[in-house]
Structure 1
Amino acid sequence: MLSKLFVPATVLAAAMMPATVSAQASAAIEDPLGIPQNITILGEDDPNIRTATAIVNGTVITGTDVDHRVALVTAASQNEIAGEELQRLRMQVLRNLIDETLQIQAAQSQEVNITQADVDETYARVAAQNFGQNTEAMDEYLNSIGSSPASLKRQIQGELAWQRLLRRNIAPFVNVSEEEVNELLKRLEASRGTDEYRLGEIFLSATPENRETVMRNAQQIVEQLRQGGSFVAYARQYSEASTAAVGGDTGFLRLAQLPAEMSTAIREMQAGQLVGPLEIPGGFTILYLIDKRQILMADPRDAILSLKQISLNFPAGISEAEAGARVESFTQGVRSMRGCGDADAVAAQLGADVVTNDQIRARSLPEQLQPLVLNLQVGQSTPPFGSIEEGVRVLMLCGRDDPQAEGGPDFETLMAQLEDERVNKRAQRYLRDLRNDAYIEYN
């Protein structure tokens, strides 16, 4: 999968609707335009009447443009997408291409131009991250999946143009006071030790009228994700939250910042778990727990470990009974070891191999092994793990450097975060204005 281009991360603050509203206010929310409940459709009710091509203020978006961008998403999802799901994806990609076109046009009208050299430099950086600085290899990959280098370069142009436009026209006029930052620092210190969660989110807005349709769409997205689809790719294409640009990554949040429906579910989640769709005020959300930590506290998973991996492999065709006997002998031999200094000699007697790793971060180990290793004393080893096919192994702890407690973000970091959030909010309003003023012709 191609790495995502850099876009400043922002945190979506979910708003809670009042618990009770008057009948008049409720009616206004459900029918903001004053449209009668019983209407007659005069034209043909054909959802396919808008095909996936458009002209945006004179700039043509072709079917090929859509095909190439869809191919990128399909390759990232690692699942076959067909039927209604593919049709929805094509229309979402078209909306994204329209926004991208509006962003490029807005930048050009303000004389914020992106040169071909700028695009090629970023393209080469993406190639370096994925193909070892071989742009030709990335070209071949893009063509092989039904996309093209031109499609990815167009996306790069759009993101660079929008970022530079925001830096020139919006960022200089965003102000964050010292008092705001100092107040945030105080609240952060008061929250020391509180759990916070780094989430991936896909938000789909819904109204009472289209609730069932949106819920079915959300359920289909969850099904695709459970089959191995890329959460980042689906968030970028489907999510209506401001975090869509960064693959749905909210950064770290406390439960108090979230609607009750979300916080209740998140409290029970484990890292790597997918939950949803959950109905929240305004629509449905799909959540993926990326990580969990305690505010301003050292994370034991950041400990640097010195480990010896002692492994025993089995010959092909060995019976289960014989393998079990060897595992028992191996386990007894490991238990007899008198610390790491004795490991190599005893392993040789057992016919086992030893590999030493001196700079292993605990969080890089498989999730099941992390608590086992972190609870070891120096010289102790984990229970055996593995299989007949892969062999059996243990990890012996030979040293551990624990992380220091975090001092928390400094004044400048917090100010930059607040500024980024406000720039993002204004950017969303700016894009809505561009959409409202655009001349868009669908073919």
Structure 2
Amino acid sequence: MNVKIKLSDTLRPLTLGALLLGSALIATSVSAQVRPLDRIVAIVDNDVVMQSQLDQRLREVQQTIEKRGAEMPPLDVMQQQVLERLITENLQLQIGERSGIRIADEELNQALATIAQRNNMTLEQFRDALERDGLSLETAREQIRREMVINRVRQRRIAERIQISNQEVENFLASDLGKLQLAEEYRLANILIPIPESSDSAAIQAAEKVAADTYQQLQQGTDFARLAVSRSASENALEGGDMGWRKAAQLPPPFDTQVRELSVGEVTQPVRTPPGFIILKLLDKRGGDTQVRDEVHVRHILIKPSQIRSEAESRRLIERLRSRIEAGEDFAELARNFSEDPGSALNGGDLNWIDPNSLVPEFREVMANSATGQLSEPFQSQFGWHILEVLGRRATDASAEFREQQAMNLLRNRKYDEELQAWLRQIRDEAYVEVKL
């Protein structure tokens, strides 16, 4: 029988979709065939990547590409992409281990129970089915644990790297982009043609040539997602380069101005950046001008349904967190440990003073009906399950404090992707890696 682990993601940058999307536990017949022993394909600091890990991830990526209907890139290209991702994930897991990041058994058990339910099985039946397919329950637990550790490592390390000066805030507020901070949002995809550090002019010219050829193919109608899978060195390459939604102000120059000039479906010309040559595609856009009328100081905890957690499991978890707060546990501490909103989790879930009109309707409605100091009941939005607490209200007058806080938030988000890529390059460059493929 075929048992599918159907798990979807949360956290744009590394999603569990990349790990498990579309993966299936394919039943195999028991035989006396001789199988080769596993072998090491890469030594990564104090750990290793095994051939079995590479083969499994390759199968999952191939299934994902097939389901998307995209053209399959050459095996050697895809194998190199997948191995690099496994190496980067391994380094992040080692950082998580050294930092003492642990995933509670309760969270892992919830995820496994969800998988079993989606396969119309009890947990015991699911375990038996896995064993018949030559896999163990521990294998599924480990896949889930890896992603959760990586997400928490990133939340901590990237937040530490982002520093916003008062001068940056003042410059931003004086800019055209600062005045348009509540303007349209853009759904983008990117292709990164990398330039290795300390590259000579020949290597830079070679990368520029690849970028120009990629742009030319895109102009001729070649599928963007296919080229992203086969050529991009960005963290989201295997997802077709999809970056999700961004405001123009969240993008580094010159993309912050270029994207506003694009029509849906158009791409930018290659732009030289420190990591390499980048091409953006505008997939969609939404939103527009918003009038600021009042402000609410609010904090929240967000639990996102994903491939490792169903809607029902997400709701049960947020209900348990609410009960723990009612029992006297600290809201901020639980938000830091459980909330999956990277913009507020490290601040104890605090969104600071915020314009209600900038929030999704479900959040805005619950916030409007909550008394100051009152913990809300769990509620659902397009992002997942929330609980919130209103800490204060005030009439807005477009004060300097409000404008500065908005600028600070936008600048922080703007730097996140850049800092993530820089950090990933840094830990890769500083690590001892020996590829034995």
Name the TM-score class by shorter chain.
Answer: 0.3 to 0.5
Give TM-score scaled by structure 1 length: 0.47
Give TM-score scaled by structure 2 length: 0.47
Based on CA coordinates, which of the two structures has the bigger radius of gyration? Answer: 1
